[in-house]
């Protein structure tokens, strides 16, 4: 059973995770033109690389990824190279996840980019754990997906979607040039949805470190310590007294 667990962990680290993140990185740049149905691939712009760096720093802050355990002098050379490739696919998948939900041009692109930058910067100084961070990222990417592929898709529609007509009526004839952008087929939204779902699934499967069984035990002990710190001082003292009594009994026996 121990060999089976080790094999499963190796398959996860060396095969499944790189495949998931690499696929998300490739699909994040796919666009389907509305008129010709031609498939385009847009490389990640500079702002998405900056966002990916900030997101990986947030992963380290929340201990979702312990980079010091993935890349360590205690690992072998080939193991460190493999781990570095997995982390590289994570970086590019993060950049392409942002690329898939950011508008391609116009004022709204910079507004949404500034929103991402401000949110990630603020979160660097907030207390986060891995679960809370994953919920926050799912909400963040979900909101951006709705804005781009549902609201802005109607705004950029060639025939004039309902949002474009509503904006024109609200602005009273003021030019909407700053809100213009390329028009893509609905298939682009489906590709983006699959990309984000694949990326989030990869984050759920990603272990904080390429841990062996002893590391998993250490992780459970650390989680227990964090839970104990949340208890009132009187209850912590009582637990310490009970554990001390049990230790004395075991030592006397």
Domain ranges of the chain: 2-211, 215-253
What mean pLDDT, rounded, does the chain reach?
80
Helix (H) or strand (E) holding 39: strand 39-41
Q: Is the pLDDT of residue 17 over 60?
A: yes
Alpha carbon distance 55, 51 (integer Å): 6
**Residue 155 pLDDT:** 65
- pLDDT, tens digit (0-9, with 9 covering 90-100), for 114-131: 989 999 998 888 887 788
Q: Is the pLDDT of residue 106 over 80?
A: no
Cβ atoms within 10 Å of 180's Cβ, excluding its own = 15
Q: Is the dihedral of CA 180, 139, 211, 219 positive or negative?
A: positive
**Residue given tokens 């802050």 in the structure block:** 61
Alpha carbon distance 144, 150 (integer Å): 10
Residue 179 DSSP symbol:
G
Separate counts of helices (H) and strands (E) for the chain: 12, 2
Could you tell me which of 210, 197, 195, 201 has the C-alpha nearest to residue 92? Answer: 195
Cβ atoms within 10 Å of 157's Cβ, excluding its own = 15
């Amino acid at each position: 059973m121990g060999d089976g667990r080790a094999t499963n962990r190796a398959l996860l680290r060396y095969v499944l995770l790189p495949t998931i993140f690499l696929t998300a990185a490739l699909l994040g740049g796919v666009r389907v033109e509305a008129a010709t149905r031609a498939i385009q691939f847009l490389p990640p712009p500079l702002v998405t690389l900056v966002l990916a760096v900030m997101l990986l720093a947030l992963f380290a802050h929340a201990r979702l990824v312990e980079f010091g355990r993935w890349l360590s002098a205690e690992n072998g050379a080939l193991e460190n190279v493999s781990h570095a490739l997995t982390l590289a696919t994570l970086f590019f998948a993060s950049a392409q996840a942002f690329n898939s939900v950011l508008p391609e041009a116009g004022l709204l692109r910079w507004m949404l980019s500034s929103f991402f930058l401000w949110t990630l910067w603020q979160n660097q100084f907030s207390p986060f754990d891995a679960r809370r961070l994953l919920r926050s990222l799912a909400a963040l990417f979900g909101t951006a997906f709705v804005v781009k592929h549902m609201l802005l898709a109607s705004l950029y529609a060639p025939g004039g979607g309902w949002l474009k007509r509503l904006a024109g009526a609200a602005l009273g004839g003021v030019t909407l040039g700053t809100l213009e952008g390329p028009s893509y087929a609905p298939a682009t939204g489906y590709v983006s949805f699959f990309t984000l779902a694949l990326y989030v699934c990869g984050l759920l499967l990603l272990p904080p470190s390429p841990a062996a069984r002893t590391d998993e035990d250490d992780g459970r002990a650390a989680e227990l310590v964090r839970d104990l710190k949340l208890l009132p001082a009187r209850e912590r003292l009582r637990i310490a007294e009970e554990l001390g009594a049990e230790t004395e009994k075991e030592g006397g026996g």
